[in-house]
Amino acid sequence: MDASNYLYISALLFTIGAVGVVVRRNAIVVFMCIELMLNAANLSFVTFSRINGDLNGQIMAFFTMVVAACEVVVGLAIIVTIYRSRRSASVDDASLLKR
Amino acid sequence: MNTSQSLVYLIALPLAGAALLLLGGRRTDKWGHLLATALSASSFGVGLYQLSQMLGRSTEARPVSQKLFEWINVGTFNVDAGLLLDQLSICFVLLITGVGTLIHVYSISYMSHDHDRRRFFAFLNLFIAAMLLLVLGDSYLSLYVGWEGVGLASYLLIGFWNQKPAYATASKKAFVMNRVGDMGLSFAIMIAFATMGTVSFAGVAEQVENTSEAALTGMGIMLLIAAAGKSAQFPLQAWLGDAMAGPTPVSALIHAATMVTAGVYLITRSNFVFDAAPTAQLLVVIVGAITLMFGALIGTAKDDIKKALAASTMSQIGYMILAAGLGPVGYAFAIMHLLTHGFFKAGMFLGAGSVMHGMNDEVNMRKYGALRKFMPITFATFGLGYLAILGVPPFAGFYSKDMIIETAFNAGGVKGIILGSVTLLGAGITAFYMTRVMILTFTGTKRWDEDAHPHESPWLMWLPMAVLAIGSVTSGFLLSRGDALVNWLHPLFEHHEEHEHHLLEPIVVSGLALTMVAIGVAIAFVKYSRQEVANIAPENVSVFTKIARQDLMQDRFNEAVFMRPGQALTTTLGATDEAVIDGTVRGVGQLAMSSGSALRGLQNGFVRSYAALILVGAVALIAAIWVVVQ
């Protein structure tokens, strides 16, 4: 099977994630979409690793996972805190950092 | 050249007086005027000593010099601050310190009621020191320092009573107009430095033959502008009339006898430049001739005794400048007229001061009249000065002015005839306006204000007047006996054949001049002695009188031609600065600010729009890379 199909899937997943980040208001959903984009990138790394026949891409995928795990911890903490103070998880409500 | 270590004392003594009185403050009030007078007199003593030394030496060995210190030493350009006393400077030194001392003595009494008398004497001493530096400097640069010094002293003294706004304005006017002349002097120095690489008199004199005539003409014209500014010559003459705002001793010393003759000194001192630049020399003559008539015409219409005398000063200095412009034959006569004028004009100014002293500071001659009986000494000294300025033999002016008229006639060709006629006519008009002053002041009926109680001045005031009157009588005879002054100054000036053109015999010239004087006196006599003089200036007078009363429109001319356009220029420059320079700077700031506030709209706080922007940016970047790589 042609490895480039994986890249197409990766692009599709990334696009779905990106659109989700832009159009959805719920912070949890936005967060999941970001995870989707990170994993789309991971899929690309692994695919390129396969195409090139070395392990560099797979190692990068591990790194991405670690970073994603850290990001989840920090991100969820922020979302929970905001929810506690505002009773809302909508990203549009938290728009005080302007002007 | 001989050196003398005592030259510096000529300047140092009065300068020390000025410093002491100015820094000493009120503590020196009691004896300040005496100290200043003593220092001025001791400077005169040093001058006399130098003269006696000079007389004891042979002609070539007469000039003495003193190096004070190394002033400027840059590469090949070296200027030492040095003093030079030669046959020309000694004339000025004795005139300045001699007349200066007399006027110090006069001022002790004249200014005795002024609570600021000490400051007045400090400024007088400052003036003497600066004027001596002017005539003793051995380079144009040293001369320039003295030149500025006398300008400062003149400014301070014209505005001595600066609590009156009109007087303060007059001093500012004099200062500003003098600056125009000073600019000429600084340009002349720059030209000398650029073309000859030296600014000392001796150096420039040596380099003249290696210098192009264009440069010399330029330098000559700049020197002429300088002389015109300081000596109140056309076209920079307008300040002198207003300078009469100063106390009368100042008018006598600075604005009649000494400072205003600095221009004549400058031209005479620069004889080597003018002799090699005929165009500049011709301009000197023209300026002298114009001013001579200009001052004389103004003098005919002035009712203010000091302004009439000021106009006369302007006119007489016109004679000197004219003589100086005639070249080697004229320099000595210019100096001779300068010296005799120093005596009789200073004497007349002091006489005017004495009259004012007795008449509650009234200056309007229409309110004088019949003062002869009340002020006999003032009348006598003023009258001797009057006879001297008229050129009646054997008084001083006869010798000096006749020589100028004669030299003018002998200048050759049409030039000689025009100049001779102008000087003759000037002599006639001088006779008219001076007779007018005499008649209005001393004869006729009393036209005094009611509270006037004229009285003779105290001896401290009439003594200097008497000394100056003696000078007015004898100086001309003494200086011209056996061509004394001409021979004395001879080594300084290059002489060519002197008797080339002899258009008129000396006796004919004297006859013509005396005829003109007689006509002038007669007209004045008919006009002012035979008729009653109104104590208010009549209004229905001819248009010429009206113009002459306004100083021949000199102020209006200056205002219309220089002041208004100058003001317009500065306003335009100001507006340009505001609009273009400041506008650009402010525009840049405005641009940054407005683009900032436009971009601020993007900062809306919505995370999703940020994310969308990042996305769009990333896509655009990738698209761009893709396009480039393809």
Q: How far is A94 from chain B (nearest CA, A)?
A: 8
Average pLDDT, integer, range B184-207: 89
Q: What is the DSSP string of B71-97?
A: EEEETTEEEEEEEEE-HHHHHHHHHHH
Query: Measured between alpha carbons, how far is B303 from B293 in angstroms, rounded to an integer?
Result: 18
- Residue B543 in this model has a pLDDT that exceeds 90: no
Query: Measured between alpha carbons, how far is B2 from B144 in angstroms, rounded to an integer?
Result: 24
Q: For the ranges A42-56, B306-320, B461-475, B476-490, which has the lowest average pLDDT?
A: B476-490
Has residue A65 been placed in a domain? yes
Residue B606: list chain A partners with CB under 8 A: 91-92, 95
Nearest-Cα residue of chain A relative to residue B601: A99
Cβ-based neighbours of B472, under 8 Å, separated by 6 or more: B340, B343, B344, B347, B384, B385, B387, B388, B395, B396, B397
> What phi and psi, each to the nearest 5 degrees, are found at residue A35?
-60, -40
Has residue A50 been placed in a domain? yes
Work out the pLDDT band at B618, boundaries 50, 70, 90: very high
Q: What pLDDT is stored for residue B500 in this prediction?
A: 54
Work out the pLDDT band at B501, boundaries 50, 70, 90: low
Closest CA to B204 of B214, B402, B194: B194
Residue A23: list chain B partners with CB under 8 A: 608
- Residue A31 in this model has a pLDDT that exceeds 80: yes
**Partner-chain contact A91 B606, CB within 8 Å:** yes
Has residue A94 been placed in a domain? no
* Alpha-carbon distances of B457 from B362, B365, B401, B473, rounded to whole Å: 15, 18, 31, 22
Residue A11: list chain B partners with CB under 8 A: none
Whether the CA torsion A84, A86, A89, A92 is positive or negative: it is negative
- Residue B499 in this model has a pLDDT that exceeds 60: no
Average pLDDT, integer, range B589-599: 92
DSSP H helical segments within B239-304, as ranges? 239-242, 248-252, 262-269, 271-275, 278-301
- In whole angstroms, what separates CA B24 from the centre of its chain? 30
- Amino acid at position B373, single letter: K
Q: How far is A25 from chain B (nearest CA, A)?
A: 8
Tell me the range of B302-306, B505-509, B552-556, B617-621 where mean pLDDT is highest: B617-621
**Partner-chain contact A23 B608, CB within 8 Å:** yes
- Residue A99 in this model has a pLDDT that exceeds 60: no
Which of B608, B613, B614, B619 is the best substitution to test chain A (most A C-beta atoms within 10 A)?
B608
- Residue B492 in this model has a pLDDT that exceeds 90: no
- Residue B34 in this model has a pLDDT that exceeds 80: yes
Query: Measured between alpha carbons, how far is B449 from B359 in angstroms, rounded to an integer?
Result: 9
Q: How far is A59 from chain B (nearest CA, A)?
A: 25
Residue of A18, A23, A96 lying closest to B605 (CB–CB): A96
Closest CA to B132 of B173, B178, B92, B179: B92
**Partner-chain contact B608 A94, CB within 8 Å:** no
Closest CA to B506 of B422, B389, B426, B399: B399
Q: How far is A20 from chain B (nearest CA, A)?
A: 10
What's the N-to-C CA distance of chain A in angstroms?
53
Task: With H, G, I as helix, E, B as strand and everything else as coil, classify residue B496.
Answer: coil
Residue of B600, B608, B615 lying closest to A91 (CB–CB): B608
- Residue B627 in this model has a pLDDT that exceeds 70: yes
- Residue B73 in this model has a pLDDT that exceeds 90: no
B444 Rama class: left (phi>0) / alpha (psi -120 to 50) / beta = left
- Report which secondary-structure segment, H or E, holds B70: strand B64-74
Burial of B121 per CB tally in 10 Å (0-12, 13-18, 19+): buried
**Partner-chain contact A91 B607, CB within 8 Å:** yes
Considering only CA atoms, give the Rg of chain A.
16
- Residue B99 in this model has a pLDDT that exceeds 60: yes
Query: Measured between alpha carbons, how far is B421 from B403 in angstroms, rounded to an integer?
Result: 14
Domain boundaries, given as residue ranges, for chain B? 557-629
Has residue A90 been placed in a domain? no
Nearest-Cα residue of chain A relative to residue B610: A22
Query: Measured between alpha carbons, how far is B339 from B320 in angstroms, rounded to an integer?
Result: 10
Work out the pLDDT band at B63, boundaries 50, 70, 90: confident
Nearest-Cα residue of chain A relative to residue B608: A22
Residue A93: list chain B partners with CB under 8 A: none
Work out the pLDDT band at A7, boundaries 50, 70, 90: very high
Nearest-Cα residue of chain B relative to residue A20: B608
Which of B607, B610, B615 is the best substitution to test chain A (most A C-beta atoms within 10 A)?
B607
Work out the pLDDT band at B507, boundaries 50, 70, 90: confident
Cβ neighbours, 10 Å, residue B587: 10
Residue A96: list chain B partners with CB under 8 A: 605
* Alpha-carbon distances of B585 from B314, B575, B594, B597, rounded to whole Å: 51, 15, 14, 19
pLDDT for B100-125, tens place per residue?
Answer: 999 999 998 888 888 888 889 999 99
**Partner-chain contact A95 B608, CB within 8 Å:** no
Query: Measured between alpha carbons, how far is B331 from B171 in angstroms, rounded to an integer?
Result: 31
Average pLDDT, integer, range B65-74: 85
Mean pLDDT of chain B: 87
- Residue A77 in this model has a pLDDT that exceeds 90: yes
Work out the pLDDT band at A95, boundaries 50, 70, 90: confident
Residue A91: list chain B partners with CB under 8 A: 606-608
* Alpha-carbon distances of B265 from B91, B324, B449, B549, rounded to whole Å: 10, 9, 43, 30
pLDDT for B449-486, tens place per residue?
Answer: 778 788 888 888 888 889 989 888 888 888 888 788 88
Q: For the ranges B38-52, B275-289, B529-543, which has the lowest average pLDDT?
A: B529-543
B8, B67 Cβ separation under 8 angstroms: no
Residue of A21, A23, A97 lying closest to B605 (CB–CB): A97
Residue of B600, B606, B612 lying closest to A95 (CB–CB): B606
Nearest-Cα residue of chain B relative to residue A21: B608
Query: Measured between alpha carbons, how far is B261 from B342 in angstroms, rounded to an integer?
Result: 9
Q: Is the ipTM of this complex over 0.90?
A: no
Quote the tokens at residue A83: 């929810």
Average pLDDT, integer, range B405-413: 83
Q: How far is A1 from chain B (nearest CA, A)?
A: 27
What is the domain range of residue A18? 1-84
Residue B611: list chain A partners with CB under 8 A: 21-22
Q: What pLDDT is stored for residue B60 in this prediction?
A: 81
Residue of B604, B606, B615 lying closest to A18 (CB–CB): B615
**Partner-chain contact A95 B607, CB within 8 Å:** yes
Cβ-based neighbours of A2, under 8 Å, separated by 6 or more: none
Which DSSP letter does residue B2 get? E
- How large a percentage of chain B has pLDDT more than 70? 98
- How large a percentage of chain B has pLDDT more than 90? 27
Residue A21: list chain B partners with CB under 8 A: 608, 611, 615
Nearest-Cα residue of chain B relative to residue A15: B615
Residue of B603, B612, B615 lying closest to A99 (CB–CB): B603
- Residue B275 in this model has a pLDDT that exceeds 60: yes
**Partner-chain contact A22 B611, CB within 8 Å:** yes
Average pLDDT, integer, range B234-242: 86
Domains held by chain A: number: 1
- From chain B, which residues contact A within 8 Å (Cβ)? 600, 603-608, 611-612, 615
pLDDT for B335-348, tens place per residue?
Answer: 999 999 999 999 89
B384, B473 Cβ separation under 8 angstroms: yes
- How large a percentage of chain A has pLDDT more than 70? 96
Mean pLDDT of chain A: 90
* Alpha-carbon distances of B24 from B17, B107, B117, B207, rounded to whole Å: 10, 20, 13, 47
Q: What pLDDT is stored for residue B574 in this prediction?
A: 93
B422-448 burial: b if 16+ Cβ within 10 Å, else e: bbbebbbbbbbbbbbbbbbbbbbeebb
Nearest-Cα residue of chain A relative to residue B618: A18
* Alpha-carbon distances of B560 from A12, B169, B233, B553, B563, rounded to whole Å: 85, 19, 19, 10, 6
**Partner-chain contact A92 B604, CB within 8 Å:** no
- Residue B94 in this model has a pLDDT that exceeds 60: yes
- How large a percentage of chain A has pLDDT more than 90? 64
Q: What pLDDT is stored for residue B620 in this prediction?
A: 95
Query: Measured between alpha carbons, how far is B277 from B152 in angstroms, rounded to an integer?
Result: 31
Has residue A54 been placed in a domain? yes
Query: Measured between alpha carbons, how far is B337 from B341 in angstroms, rounded to an integer?
Result: 6
Q: How far is B559 from chain A (nearest CA, A)?
A: 59
- Amino acid at position B351, single letter: G
Residue B605: list chain A partners with CB under 8 A: 95-99
Has residue A97 been placed in a domain? no
- Residue B599 in this model has a pLDDT that exceeds 80: yes
Has residue A91 been placed in a domain? no
Has residue A96 been placed in a domain? no
Q: For the ranges B34-43, B233-242, B335-344, which has the lowest average pLDDT?
A: B233-242
Q: Which position has the higher pLDDT, B230 or B505? A: B230
**Partner-chain contact B600 A99, CB within 8 Å:** yes
